[in-house]
């Protein structure tokens, strides 16, 4: 019997899902703030939440611990990031086993950026793996795991061309990936072109678009440079004009992300994966706009989040998008 029979993908079928990304804090204050956010997200019953790993595996221990706590102390289904960079196969097997012992059976597999940043040379560990599809195979052979992988709407920065990029993606599908989550992007057309290329290559796993509300021009430019994502000039100009006015930057970022998210769902995207940066305002505001869900019963109101209507249609005409209630973290 294959691992598929033991662990279903956290991405449901039939209607859009939503999910959120956190990173392991480095301070006690950051940890307290994150857990306040985790409890608010829990009240929304997302399909899953993911925990990032850090460049070069730098946050490995914190990632494992945070993912373990989410699995043990909440009803959320945590997806742990796992990167190949800097690890031997023996070390990777140990990390996979640590996740399994903690009750975490969902892993997002990435080759990973080298220490120092994505522009540095990628040097494989002498006893490690060279490609993400090899790590997918390793996790699938290690037990009953669901496995997600990365997708790149503007192709991977190290890919010489689109044909090469799609070949690498299809290799991850054939190695046993259940679904993919994209790198950040700011134009829905990039996602739609990627999806069409992947389908034409014979791979039909769900590809979830990642939503990164752009609220600060300088910060987003740094992220975009690191990831290879293009930053629309019109959005950049609006954010530059709002420099020094955080509330205006938040409004602009939420408006843009809401419009893009609605377009993606209308075009058949299987869900939305929100980057939170461990802060609630932008991600929860976009989610509220898209789903119409402002507050879960018994939780504090989300009144401080500006949730303007999409510029594409007035709020009264916006359809309610059906959302999928996330399965409990112990579900098969």
Count CB atoms within 10 A of the CB of residue 30. 13
- Pair 85, 122: CB distance under 8 Å: yes
Close Cβ partners of 69 (under 8 Å, ≥ 6 residues apart): none
Q: Which of 163, 244, 255 is nearest to 200 (CA)?
A: 163
Close Cβ partners of 34 (under 8 Å, ≥ 6 residues apart): 22, 25, 66, 278
Catalytic residue among 21, 134, 255, 262: 21
Rg (CA), the chain: 19
- Which residues lie across from 82 on neighbouring strands? 109
21 belongs to the catalytic site: yes
Sheet holding 271-275, edge to edge: 207-208, 179-182, 146-151, 106-110, 78-83, 48-51, 17-22, 271-275, 210-211
- Which residues lie across from 50 on neighbouring strands? 21, 79
Gap between the Cα atoms of 109 and 218, Å rounded: 29
59's enclosing H/E stretch is: none
Q: Which residues are catalytic?
A: 21
């Amino acid at each position: 019997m294959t691992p598929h029979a033991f662990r279903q993908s956290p991405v449901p079928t039939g209607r859009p899902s939503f999910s959120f990304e956190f990173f392991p804090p480095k301070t006690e204050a950051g940890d307290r703030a994150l857990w306040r956010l985790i409890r608010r997200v829990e009240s929304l019953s997302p399909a899953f939440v993911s925990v990032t790993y850090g460049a070069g595996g730098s946050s490995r221990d914190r990632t494992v611990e945070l993912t373990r706590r989410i699995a043990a102390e909440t009803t959320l289904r945590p997806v742990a990031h796992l990167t190949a960079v800097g690890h031997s196969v023996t070390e990777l097997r140990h990390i996979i086993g640590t996740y399994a012992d903690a009750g975490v059976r969902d892993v997002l597999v990435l080759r990973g950026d080298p220490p120092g940043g994505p522009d540095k040379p990628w040097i494989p560990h002498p006893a490690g793996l060279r490609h993400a599809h090899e790590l997918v195979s390793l996790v699938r052979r290690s037990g009953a795991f669901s496995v997600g992988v990365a997708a790149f709407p503007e192709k991977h920065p190290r890919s010489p061309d689109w044909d090469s990029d799609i070949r690498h993606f299809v290799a991850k599908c054939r190695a046993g990936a259940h679904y993919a989550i994209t790198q950040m992007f700011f134009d829905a057309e990039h996602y739609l072109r990627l999806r069409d290329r992947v389908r034409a290559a014979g791979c039909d796993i769900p590809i979830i678009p990642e939503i990164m509300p752009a609220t600060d021009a300088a910060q987003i430019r740094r992220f975009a440079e690191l990831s290879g994502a293009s930053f629309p000039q019109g959005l950049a100009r609006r954010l530059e004009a709002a420099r020094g006015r955080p509330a205006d930057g938040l409004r602009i970022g939420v408006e843009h992300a809401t419009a893009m998210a609605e377009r993606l769902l209308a075009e058949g995207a299987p869900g939305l994966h929100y980057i939170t940066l461990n802060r609630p305002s932008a991600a929860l505001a976009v989610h509220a706009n898209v789903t119409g869900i402002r507050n879960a019963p018994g939780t504090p109101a989300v009144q401080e989040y500006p949730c303007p209507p999409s510029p594409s249609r007035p709020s009264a005409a916006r359809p309610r998008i059906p959302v999928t209630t996330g399965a409990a973290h112990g579900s098969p």
